Amino acid sequence: MTHTPCPLYKKCSGCQLQNLPYEEQLHLKQARLIRLLGRFGHIEEIIPMEDPTHYRNKVQSAFCMKSGRLTAGIYQSATRRIVEVPASMQDGCMLEDPAATRIVQTICALAPSFKLKPYDLVTGRGFLRHVLVRHGFQSGQVMVVLVTAPGDFPSCRSFVNELCRRHPEITTVVWNVNPTSTPLFLGSESKTLFGEGIITDTLCGLTFRISPRSFYQVNPVQTEILYNTARRFARLTGGERLIDAYCGTGTIGLTMASRPGVVGAKEVIGVELNREAVQDARDNARRNGVETAQFYAADAGEFMKELAARGKSADVVVTDPPRAGCSREFLQSLLTLAPKRVVYVSCNPETLARDLGTLTRGGYRVRKIQPVDLFPFTEHCEVVVLMSQT
């Protein structure tokens, strides 16, 4: 598959593999995985994305002043600069959701007449910091989170009315205050300006609630493939106790739980650090009629340590940690709990290799390694690994 190269490729650096045809990107990822994980066993061929463009359901655009004009673009953490996506690029960034691109363009066009000024990181003056747009691709619902510096929001109501009039697809608008110096950060203070303050979306036949700050995979098409792979690896027969570690809003655990008409785990225990995500997970269980799932707000390592100390057992542990991988404490307690199967979902093959080393030294054997391309055009990739006791 060929694509038109992005004019911002060099400036932006968000798409590290932009210069390669998609087929070659896949070969490169496969070769890197073989290098990093080959010693643990055969690596299945990476599952590609059918149409690898505009896959992101979550877009964050930072505001700035360029040539006396309010504009929005991609925040580049390495240089602390904002790379403007010019309005002439009508489809916007090739990874981002075009619906979000249009909303961001409207905000830029409306802001001056509502006296909204972009926040300046250097001087600390101004108000509008960034906008986060989340789009449920299956539900069609759209959330707009306007992130500002502390202070009054001038003509807030009329601004939101005009934005929603121009974009009837918007189902909720939230105002969030980021008082910190960290760009693209959402503060703890939020106010819903329109709608319910959350959206829902469907994954693997279940409905999930997404709030402004909780984690939700950015590529929903490939996420279904990822979750179905993890589910297949877990080989559930209806009687298992399953731990979903680093569970976010409970998406993996809930798609693996038994529910009317579906054979899955008998009992699901989810653990997650972010309290808001845990609330979403509990709500998601209710929404989908899963009565046998419990979610805890805790550090996954400490939680596992406590389970192990109390002599609890689990048949299957699914773990889906952030890029840093699982903590040592988590892995040690996992070895003590000694589940029959471990399904490791990883977004970073380097920490995955480190953690597989620990688990294989502790007696587990790697049975299957399946990469899934969730992030075309970038160097990132997800990998699902099945381990069982020798």
Considering only residues 300, 359, 369, 383, which one is a binding residue for ligand SAH as defined by CB under 6 A? 300
Q: Does 273 bind ligand SAH (CB under 6 A)?
A: yes
Asked if 274 is part of the footprint of ligand SAH (rule: CB under 6 A), the reply reads: yes
**C-alpha span between 105 and 93 (Å, rounded):** 12
β partners of residue 270: 244, 295
Nearer to ligand SAH, 97 or 272 (CB): 272
Binding part of the chain for ligand SAH, among 81-89, 91-99, 184-192, 314-322 by CB under 6 A, reads 314-322
Q: Are 371 and 30 in contact (CB under 8 A)?
A: yes
Residue number of the CB atom closest to ligand SAH: 248
Pair of tokens at residue 24: 């070659």
Single out the residue of 174, 234, 243, 252 in contact with ligand SAH (rule: CB under 6 A).
Answer: 252
Distance CA 122, CA 297 (A): 36
For residues 232 and 367, the answer to whether their CB atoms sit within 8 Å is no
Beta carbon nearer to ligand SAH, 92 or 248: 248
Which residues lie closer than 8 Å to 53 by C-beta, 6 or more apart? 3, 94, 95, 376
Q: Which of 44, 162, 196, 299 binds ligand SAH (CB under 6 A)?
A: 299
Mark 206-245 with x for binding to ligand SAH (rule: CB under 6 A) and - for no binding.
Answer: ---------x-x----------------------------
Task: Reply yes or no on whether 108 is catalytic.
Answer: no
In the complex, the smallest distance separating the C-beta of residue 223 from ligand SAH, rounded to whole angstroms, is: 7
Question: Starting from the edge strand earliest in sequence, which strands make up the sheet with 58-66, in order?
Answer: 81-84, 69-76, 58-66, 128-135, 142-148, 170-177, 189-194
Pick from 322, 338, 354, 380: which binds ligand SAH (CB under 6 A)? Answer: 322
- Residue 148 binds to ligand SAH (criterion: CB under 6 A): no
- Helix (H) or strand (E) run with residue 162 in it: helix 156-166
Exactly one of 40, 159, 246, 344 binds ligand SAH (CB under 6 A); that residue is 246
Which residues are paired to 318 by β-bridges? 244, 343
CB of 190 closer than 8 Å to CB of 197 = yes
- Give the residues lining the site for ligand SAH (CB under 6 A): 215, 217, 246-248, 251-252, 271-274, 277, 299-300, 320-322
Catalytic residues: 347
